[in-house]
Amino acid sequence: MASVVELRPRAREDFTASLGMVVFLASWAMMFSTLFFAYAFVRARATVWPPPGAPVLPIGLPALNTAVLLASSFTFARGLSTLRRGARSSLPVWVALTFLLGAVFLGLQVQVWLSLSRAGLHLNTGGIYGSAFYAMTTFHALHVAVGLLILGWVFIQALRGKYSEHNQVKVQLCTMFWHFVDVVWILMFLTLYVL
């Protein structure tokens, strides 16, 4: 059993790493906030939204995508929870499910883009309407893709037995990033598709 002296440096390192992730996510939150504010500014100045002739954004497939991403946050949180309880062998299963759901999200997002492109929504549609939509959703999709790379890394490390109930801060940090991506999507779904 590790002594208190041995645990304190790890606790300090874990706290520092968690604080670093909070600062990192706060900086990304500011960047996404800028996108949202720019979108709100443009939309508020428009007399009609969406602009005449621009296709109306669908609600069904993006709503399904929202449910998929929410489910992925649940599976990752569940994986971290089981790890904290000492069930190391279940972590790779939960991470794999999270990865699969994240990949489904990206696949569905591509379907949304393709269907909207076929309906006539392009980067130059309706002035800034098309470019704002594609910029926001593409930027988010890139973050999901980065999250999938992180999940792949966590999965490999979990299979190697690198994590335990006493060594789970890296999984926790990755979970924080994944939840951040989820929250941003919910705000984006509400902003772009619902309001």
Q: What is the model's pTM?
A: 0.88
Instruction: Give the DSSP per-residue string, the chain.
Output: ---HHHHHHHHHHHHHHHHHHHHHHHHHHHHHHHHHHHHHHHHHH-SSSSPTTSPPPPSHHHHHHHHHHHHHHHHHHHHHHHHHTT-GGGHHHHHHHHHHHHHHHHHHHHHHHHHHHHHT--TTTTTTHHHHHHHHHHHHHHHHHHHHHHHHHHHHHHHTT--BTTB-HHHHHHHHHHHHHHHHHHHHIIIIII-
In which band, very low, low, confident or very high, does the pLDDT at 4 lie, cut at 50, 70 and 90? very low
Q: What pLDDT does residue 24 have?
A: 80
Note the pLDDT tens digit of each residue in 15-43. 877 788 888 889 889 989 999 999 999 89
Fold of the 4-46+58-194 domain: Four Helix Bundle (Hemerythrin (Met), subunit A) (1.20.120)
Taking all residues of the chain, what is their mean pLDDT, rounded to a whole number?
90
pLDDT band at 126 (very low <50, low <70, confident <90, very high): confident
